[in-house]
Chain A
Amino acid sequence: MSLALTPDELTTIKISLRLAAWTMCFSLLIGTPIAWWVSRRDSLLRRMVASITTMPMVIPPTVMGFYLLFFLGPHGPIGKTFKFLGLELLPFSFSGLVIASVICSMPFVVQPLANAFIALGERPLEAASTLGANLFDAFVTVIMPQTRPAFLTAAIMSFAHAIGEFGVVLMIGGNIPNRTRVLSMQIYVYVENMNYARAHVLSGGLVVFAVLTMLATQMLNPPQKARSERRSR
C-alpha cells in the first residue's frame, strides 16, 4: 500500500483546505454578529433566528443541498437575482461551495459564541461604556478577549466541519475536478468502488487531522477548574 498521494488526491486536499479556510473566515464574520444579537435579549424573533441557524444540523445534507441547488439555481429567487445582476450562478463554482459550507457551519459558530456571550452577561459591556467605549471598541477590547475560548472553538469547528462536509458540497459542487472536487468526495468514490487501500490512506489522514484538531481545541480551552487554578497560582 503506497502512502504517497497521487496528484489528483493532492488537488482535492488543496481545494478542501482552501474551502475550509474561507468557510472559517466567513462563518466567523457572519456568525459573530448573529450570535451577539440573539444573546442580547430574549425575544421570540431572536429565538427563531437562533433556531434557524441550527437547521443545517437537523436537515439531512442531501436535502439541504437540494434546497440550496434550487434557491441558488436559475429558477430560484437568489439565482434569479444573480442573473438579473449579470453575475455568474453559484452552483458548480467554488464560491458556491463556500456559501453552502458557511451555511452548514453556522450552528458550530453561533451556538458556542452565543452561549459565551450569555455567560459573560451585561456587566463588562456596561463597565466599558461608562468608560466611554463605543460598542465596537468594547467588543474588540473587552468582549472578545474574555470569550476567546469560544471564538477558538467556533473557528476550529467551522474549519474542521468544512473539511468533512460531504453531502451538501457534493450536491452544490457537481464534483468537477480541479474546481469543486474535495477530499471527502474522493474518499466516498474510493469506498463505493471498493478501492479500500486508497480510502484508508486518505481517511487515515483525516482521522489524524480530526484528532489533532480536537486536541488543539481542548488545549486552547482548558476546563474551567484547571484555568482558575492556573490563574490563582
Chain B
Amino acid sequence: MKRIVLLLSLAAAFLFAQTALADQFLGAVASNFEGPAKLIAAEFEKDTGHKAELSFGSTGSFASQIRNESPFGIFLAADASTPKALEDEGLTAPGTRFTYAQGALVLWSTTEGYVDDKGDVLKTGDYKHLAVADPALAPYGAAAYELLKAWDILTKLEGEQRLVTGQNIGQTVQFVQTGNAELGLVAQSQVWKDGKFTSGSGWIVSPDLYSPILQDAVILKSAADNVAVKAFADYLKGEKAKAIILSFGYKL
C-alpha cells in the first residue's frame, strides 16, 4: 500500500512538473521539417527567451487532432491545403496563415553516378522499384505522380508493379536508403546538406514538371492571444530562420 502511494505521488509530481510555464507553447510540425524546426526553435529560445515545445508527425494526423481540440498553438503543415481547410472551418486565428517553406522534389539513388543530370534514368533505367510517397497522403507523393504523368511513364510503372509507396516521405526515403528501391522521388530536404546531396546521386526535378509544394503555417484559434506563438511565427519569417530553411534544401 505504501509503495502504491509513493508511486502515485511520484506520478503526480511528474504531471505537475509538466504544467505549462507562461511563455511556452506546443507546436505541431510536419515531420519533413523536423531538422530545420529544431534548429530554429533553439535559436528562437536563445534570442527571445520563449520556449517552443515541438511535436513532429503527419499533417493529416495533426489536422484530426486540431479538430478535436488539441493543445497546439501553431501548426507547421507539409502542405498548403490543410491549414487552409482548418482556416475555413474557423479553427485558426484569422489572417495568420503564411508560407514558411517551399519543398523541392528530387530523384535520388544511393548509388554513385546512377542518376544523370536530366533524370533520364527514370525513363530508361532498368531499376526494379521506384519509391514514391502515397499521392493520397503526402504532397511530395502528389508531385511525384505529376512528374510520372508528365513523362507518361506512370501507367507503365504501375502495370509492372515497380512503384512502391510509403505512407509518408520519411518511409519513402527509407525504402531507398536500405537499398530495397534503387530509385526514389523524395524531398530534397531529406538528402541534402550544405549545398549538395548527402550521398549517392540525384537530380533536382525541374520545378515546371510539378505544382509547387508550399508548406504553410497557421496560428490556431486557442493561441490567438499567445505572445510566444506570435513571436515564433515572426521569427519563422525572419532572416535567421530563412538561412536555416535554405540550408536544409528548401526554397523560399
Known: A192-B60, A192-B137. Is A69-B167 also a contact (CB below 8 A)?
Answer: no
Known: A170-B171, A174-B164, A176-B163. Is A189-B137 also a contact (CB below 8 A)?
Answer: yes
A192–B136 touching, CB < 8 Å: yes
Q: Is A91 an interface residue (CB 8 A)?
A: yes
How far, in angstroms, from A75 to B110 measured CA to CA in the complex? 11
Q: How far is the CB of A178 from chain B (nearest CB, A)?
A: 7
Looking at the complex, which of B119-127, B174-182, B219-227 is the stretch in contact with chain A?
Answer: B174-182
Q: Which of B61, B134, B175 contacts A69 (CB 8 A)?
A: B175
Q: Is A89 an interface residue (CB 8 A)?
A: yes
Closest residue of B by beta carbon distance from A195: B136
Q: Which of B137, B164, B174, B181 contacts A66 (CB 8 A)?
A: B174
Q: Which residues of A contact B102 (CB under 8 A)?
A: none
Q: How far is the CB of A76 from chain B (nearest CB, A)?
A: 7
B178–A92 touching, CB < 8 Å: no
Known: A92-B164, A174-B129. Is A189-B134 also a contact (CB below 8 A)?
Answer: yes
How far, in angstroms, from A72 to B137 measured CA to CA in the complex? 26
B164–A176 touching, CB < 8 Å: yes
Measured as residues with beta carbon below 8 angstroms from the partner, the interface class of chain B is 20 to 34
B158-209 interface with A by 8 A CB criterion: 158, 161, 163-167, 171, 174-175, 178-181
How far, in angstroms, from A193 to B139 measured CA to CA in the complex? 12
Closest residue of B by beta carbon distance from A89: B180
Q: Which residues of B contact A70 (CB under 8 A)?
A: 178
B165–A175 touching, CB < 8 Å: yes
Q: Is B99 an interface residue (CB 8 A)?
A: no
Measured as residues with beta carbon below 8 angstroms from the partner, the interface class of chain A is 20 to 34
How far, in angstroms, from A188 to B136 measured CA to CA in the complex? 11
Q: Is B96 an interface residue (CB 8 A)?
A: no
B164–A175 touching, CB < 8 Å: yes
Known: A170-B171, A192-B60. Is A176-B161 also a contact (CB below 8 A)?
Answer: yes
Q: Which residues of B contact A112 (CB under 8 A)?
A: none
A75–B178 touching, CB < 8 Å: yes
Q: How far is the CB of B73 from chain A (nearest CB, A)?
A: 23
A146-204 interface with B by 8 A CB criterion: 170-171, 174-179, 185, 188-189, 191-193
Q: Is B24 an interface residue (CB 8 A)?
A: no
How far, in angstroms, from A170 to B166 measured CA to CA in the complex? 7
Q: Which residues of B contact A177 (CB under 8 A)?
A: 158
How far, in angstroms, from A69 to B172 measured CA to CA in the complex? 12
Known: A170-B171, A174-B129. Is A75-B179 also a contact (CB below 8 A)?
Answer: yes
Q: Is B58 an interface residue (CB 8 A)?
A: yes
A62–B171 touching, CB < 8 Å: yes
How far, in angstroms, from A138 to B58 measured CA to CA in the complex? 54
A73–B180 touching, CB < 8 Å: yes
Q: Is A56 an interface residue (CB 8 A)?
A: no
How far, in angstroms, from A193 to B137 measured CA to CA in the complex? 7
Give 28 A-B contacts (CB < 8 Å), ordered by A residue. A69-B174, A69-B180, A70-B178, A73-B178, A73-B179, A74-B180, A75-B178, A79-B179, A89-B180, A91-B175, A91-B178, A91-B180, A92-B180, A170-B171, A174-B129, A174-B164, A174-B166, A174-B181, A175-B164, A176-B165, A177-B158, A179-B161, A185-B167, A188-B167, A189-B134, A191-B60, A192-B137, A193-B137
Question: Which 3 pairs, one residue from A and one from B, show the smallest C-beta to C-beta distance?
Answer: A174-B164, A192-B60, A74-B179
